[in-house]
Amino acid sequence: MIEERRKERLDRGIKVTTEGIYAISSWQEMGYLLLPRLVLICGILVLPLVIPSLYWQRVISIVCIYSLLALGFDFLAHFVGLVSLGGAFFIGTGGYIAAILNTSFGLPPILTIPIATIAGGAICTLLLYPCLPLRGVYFAIVTLMYPLVMARIIEALDVLGGTDGIIGVASFPNRWIEQYGLLLIVMVSLFGLRRLVNEDIGLVFRGVKDNDQAVKASALSINFYKSIAVFIASSLGCLAGAYLAHIYMWSGISQFALDFSIIPIAATVIGGGGTLVGPVLGCFILVPISELLRAFGTLRIVFYSLILVAFIVFRSEGIMVYAQRKYHQFERWVKV
């Protein structure tokens, strides 16, 4: 008879002792807590300095834009239970608002970006409000259709610059402001969202995801909380879109393209959903790879899709969940 064994996972001792306030009692424990965070923060802050070429610095900006979208996607999908495939809708709305404010009213980027963030988030939430009662696949499909419909309407009505888009949007004064502004925004949103999901409202969000009837029974309006969550996620998307419009000095129909819906999802799948850090990490891996493969033309989309399929089928937990497990737990074989 074969001896059967299974793998047992246990938390490391240091993980348990660092869970409470007493973590500040020793340097070792504080180091255990701070190390991953410091590695991330320092890594992000150093990045623009160590990358020499202008081309790759631009790539970093694009990575950050996708990171913001991916953060919004992960927050909505894994903490509120709304799978939104309409990242492009947020990008496009934010981009067009920023472009209009800048070209028609002459506002500088420092004003257009916050206004586009808030107003864009409000517009997106308002337009998505009728769909909020939907669940699962239905919400996913309806959000997938929104950016397509917007692009076709702009094309058909020939408004907002039609197929040419809005050109002549002001750029940033210099590239350091562009880069560090964006990197700071990504970090603030990342740590802000991590904090938010552990606050009281975060508990309600998770309640909406896991058992909405129970939330209803507690006399809380599901639609109200869902719309707050959608506002947060779409504001992040609109912020990214406004930034994108100013970086490229242009806003057009291609901001409603499917890329902005697909890549954040791929990044979330690869990075690890439900961790919030994972999607950012996923973007930092995926977007540069896709730039490296640019020479192969559309073949890179093929690579991309195959990587996505491989991850979703064989490693659906993602890199970050795996890394967290290795960091916090040890494994050993035990007899059954």
Partner 1 sequence: MDILIYGIINSISLALIAIGFALVYGISRLANFAHGALYVVNGFIVWSILNILHINYLLSIILSLIIIGLIGAAIYQFILIRVRGMAISEIIASYAIGLAMLEGFRWGGFKGMTYTLPVFIRGSIEIAGIPVDFQRILLVLIGGLVVLLLWLFTHYNRIGLALRGMAQDERAAMMLGIDSDKMALIAMGLGSILAGLAAVVILPMGNIVVEAGYDKLIMAIAVCIVGGLGSWVGAVIAAFLIGFAQIITVKYIASHFHMVIALLAIIITLVLRPSGLFGRQKELEERV
| 126 is a site residue for partner 1 (CB under 8 A) | no
DSSP alpha helix (H) spans, 27-108: 27-50, 54-75, 87-105
Least gap, CB of 190 to partner 1 (angstroms): 23
Least gap, CB of 266 to partner 1 (angstroms): 8
Footprint on residues 83-102 left by partner 1 (CB under 8 A): 83, 85
| 316 is a site residue for partner 1 (CB under 8 A) | yes
| 196 is a site residue for partner 1 (CB under 8 A) | no
Cβ-based nearer residue to partner 1, 86 or 109: 86
Least gap, CB of 242 to partner 1 (angstroms): 25
Tokens 């993980």 belong to residue: 15
Cβ-based nearer residue to partner 1, 296 or 322: 296
- Per DSSP, 80 falls in state I
Cβ-based nearer residue to partner 1, 21 or 137: 137
| 286 is a site residue for partner 1 (CB under 8 A) | no
Footprint on residues 211-250 left by partner 1 (CB under 8 A): 212, 216, 222-223
Residue 313: strand pairing partners: none
Instruction: List the one residue from 122, 134, 170, 257 that touches partner 1 (CB under 8 A).
Output: 134
In angstroms, how far is CA 226 from the centroid of its own chain?
Answer: 17
| 124 is a site residue for partner 1 (CB under 8 A) | no
The residue count for binding partner 1 (CB under 8 A) is: 45
| 148 is a site residue for partner 1 (CB under 8 A) | yes
Which positions ≥6 away from 258 have C-beta within 8 Å? 88, 147
Cβ-based nearer residue to partner 1, 25 or 316: 316
Give me the amino acid identity at 53: S
Cβ-based nearer residue to partner 1, 109 or 252: 252
Return the H-helix or E-strand segment holding 247.
helix 222-248
- CB 286 within 8 Å of CB 266: yes
Cβ-based nearer residue to partner 1, 85 or 280: 85
Least gap, CB of 269 to partner 1 (angstroms): 7
Distance CA 128, CA 72 (A): 15
Footprint on residues 2-31 left by partner 1 (CB under 8 A): none
Instruction: List the one residue from 34, 49, 126, 145 that touches partner 1 (CB under 8 A).
Output: 145
- CB 113 within 8 Å of CB 246: yes
User: Hey, how many other C-beta atoms are within 10 angstroms of the C-beta on 150?
Assistant: 21
- CB 212 within 8 Å of CB 222: yes
Tokens 């990575």 belong to residue: 63
Give me the amino acid identity at 251: S
| 306 is a site residue for partner 1 (CB under 8 A) | yes
Q: Which range touches partner 1 (CB under 8 A), out of 31-39, 97-105, 148-156, 287-295?
A: 148-156
Instruction: List the one residue from 37, 152, 195, 325 that touches partner 1 (CB under 8 A).
Output: 152
Least gap, CB of 262 to partner 1 (angstroms): 8
Distance CA 109, CA 115 (A): 10
Instruction: List the one residue from 2, 50, 313, 334 that touches partner 1 (CB under 8 A).
Output: 313
Torsion of CA 244, 68, 41, 327, to 10 degrees: -150
Greatest Cα pair distance in the chain: 80
**Cα-Cα end-to-end distance for the chain:** 13
Distance CA 155, CA 256 (A): 12
Burial class (CB in 10 A: 0-12, 13-18, 19+), 282: buried
Q: Which residues bind partner 1 (CB under 8 A)?
A: 77, 83, 85, 130-131, 133-138, 140-142, 145-146, 148-149, 152-153, 155-156, 212, 216, 222-223, 262, 265-266, 269, 296-299, 301-302, 304-306, 308-309, 312-314, 316
